[in-house]
Structure 1
Amino acid sequence: MESRRNFLKAAGAATTAGMVGTAGCIGSFGGDPYVDGTLTFLMSPTEPQDQMRDQYSPIGERLVSHIDPISEDDLEMRYAANYGATLEGLNSGTADVAETGPFAAALGVNSGKVDLILQRYAYGGWEYSSFIVAPQGSDITEPADLEGKDVAFADPLSASGSLYPLAMIKEDTDLSLPDEPGSPEGADFNPQWSTHIEASNAAANEQVDAAGVGDFAYFANEDKLQVVAERSGIPRAPIVASPELSDSEKEKIITAFTEAPDTMYYGADGTEGNDDDVWFDDVRRTDIDTYQPVIDTAENLGYGEEIFG
């Protein structure tokens, strides 16, 4: 398993919710690692569940077709209620592989809950940006203007939707941050956490004063939002595997992705350029070194193990 630093562990508020499947939210799911006949793939809560199911269905089909002896009946595609639930599912061996965010993945590696296997490529690069945005025409033009304001964020363990927006506030203002991600306590503004798209929509519809989101969520409402602050150079989100899997089992998952045809990215309808296309269009092997900037940002914020312990 990759080397890991000791800077966070997943528990507490970030792991209170479970996994969501077709029947709703449940406390556990899946079965033994796929070598015993099942494969459970987790989708993280970046977009609505039905939308992500359409986007990721060809990926499930690719895994089924590439990994022997997995059949369609042996595959479970599950929607995680939050990033913490994703880490716990992989750590327990009740899930095998997941797509997740950079911060959650770095946290998971450092606490021994996941293994990094792939980095995703999208919008022309291996890196992306985080934004603090406000409704068009808002008086909020810089992070210092957030004092006393309602600010929406994505999942507390999201890099671009929570970690980096908080870092921008810290670096550019004298405002106090939340004592821990996911809690409003201690902040000089009124934070709330949900998903990227929900936070972006809330700002676009003027339900909140501002939002911290990843670039894809900003672009979804670009005509209704103005940029307050931006941070680029964040390594794009990884795909991770359960540490319960053997190296050979993980290698089968890696090659299923790296040798996949372009159609794997085209969504349920199999046609490029439609709403159900998955957001990324390539992958490459990766390790913890790629995500060191995310770890450094967390440490600079002073968010240590005690937050989730």
Structure 2
Amino acid sequence: MIHRLSTPILVAVAAIVFAGCGGSGSASGDEPLRVGLIPNENPEEVEAQYQPLEDYLKKETGGEVELSVPTTYNAVVEAMVSGELDLAYFGGLTYVQARQRADVHPLFTEVNPRTGTTKYRSVIIVPSGSDVEKVEDLEGEDFAFGSVSSTSGSLYPSIMLNQAGIDYRTDLGEVVYTGGHDTTAQAVANGRVAAGGLEDRILYDLREEGIIEKGSVRVIEKSDPIEGYPWVVRDALPDKDEQELTDAFLGIEDPELLDLLRAEDYQRVRAGDYDYVEEQARKLDLIAEEQ
């Protein structure tokens, strides 16, 4: 789910990284702080949402900040691997893909107001008028995933299908990768596909915002809880700066600020919190086996 970033928080992020990170990809001297975000909804809309924050950070820090929302999830991973990003907001799957090839680690994730925890779920939806009642009924049917690298839009729907005895690689009809949760929901709502998988929180938002009509789709399966989207940094970030960055997020108390972030709070996460994601991604060919 895309979250609005708060200006005070990212001022702290910028100041910390500007002061502490040297070398390629960090704002030492005139170098910008480079922040990447996965495009789990329309990239242009996400970038527009973050533009005021970028402008504010440039003004307040006197330095350059580059916030980018590439057109694909994989592009964010590649940017982190190649040293073109200092800080990235990943999904669980994109994080484990990145950690196979780069020295990175997660710091924290948000406590979401909808769930009261750091966890969320993936759901499989069908058009409201569909005869499909359970996942097992989807064998041979057309199915929409989000990005192939999406945790709740690709990996967990594949897990749910697998648990129902359906291999997404061989047992479905046409398989469509829409690139985003919003597009998946629309593909199901308009009957383009028989079913699709996406993040539950985004589905609720799409209904509330009128992007898909209420009552146009229904949920036939929910996944087990999924650990939240991690904020990930390069291992090269000095320990002192990393701690200051973590304290900045975990110390937020302003309710208006938290509302802007769509968070109740922030909590630490560890690399091990995403080991199940990696295990299942390997099993389902969504991450390459190490050579």
Query: What's the TM-score bracket when you normalise by the shorter of the two chains?
Result: 0.7 to 0.9
The structure-2 alpha-carbon separation of the partners of 1:142 and 1:110, relative to structure 1 and needing over 3 Å to count, comes to same
Bigger Cα displacement from structure 2, 217-226 vs 161-170: 217-226
Q: CA deviation at 1:170?
A: 0.7
Q: Which residue is 1:272 aligned to?
A: none
Q: CA RMSD in A?
A: 2.8
Q: Distance in 2 between matches of 1:96 and 1:279?
A: 23
Q: How does 1:91-240 map to 2 (within 5 A)?
A: 91-122=81-112, 123=114, 124-173=116-165, 175-178=166-169, 186-193=170-177, 194-219=179-204, 220-221=206-207, 223-240=215-232
CA contact (8 A) 2:282 2:288 kept: no
Deviations 1:6-29 (A, max 9, x none): xxxxxxxxxxxxxxxxxxxxxxxx
Map of 1:33 onto structure 2: 26
Q: Does the aligned pair in 1 maintain the 2:80–2:102 contact within 8 Å?
A: no
Code of the residue aligned with 2:269 in structure 1: it is T
SS of aligned partner of 2:39 = coil
Residue matched to 1:77: 67
Give unpaired runs (5+ residues) of structure 2.
1-23, 208-213
Q: Is the 8 A contact 1:33 1:244 kept in 2?
A: no
- Out of 265, 279, 288, the position equivalent to 1:282 is 265
Matched positions, count: 256
Name the CA distance, whole Å, in 2 between partners of 1:113 and 1:203: 38
Query: Is the contact between residue 63 and residue 256 of structure 1 (CA under 8 Å) also seen in structure 2?
Result: no
> 3-state DSSP class of the match of 1:233?
coil
Q: Deviations over 1:190-237 (max 9, x none)?
A: 211111111011111222211110112322245321112111311111
User: Which letter maps to 1:135?
Assistant: P
Q: Which has the higher strand share?
A: 1
Change (3 A) 1:141 1:201: same
Deviations 1:59-93 (A, max 9, x none): 65786699xxx43x501111122222112212222
Identity %: 25
Which residue identity lines up with residue 106 of structure 1 in the other structure? V
Shift of 1:127: 0.7
Cα distance in structure 1, aligned partners of 2:234 and 2:78: 10
TM-score (norm 1): 0.72
The TM-score normalised by the length of structure 2 is 0.76
**For residue 200 of structure 2, what is the amino acid of its counterpart?**
D
Local SS of the residue matching 2:95: helix
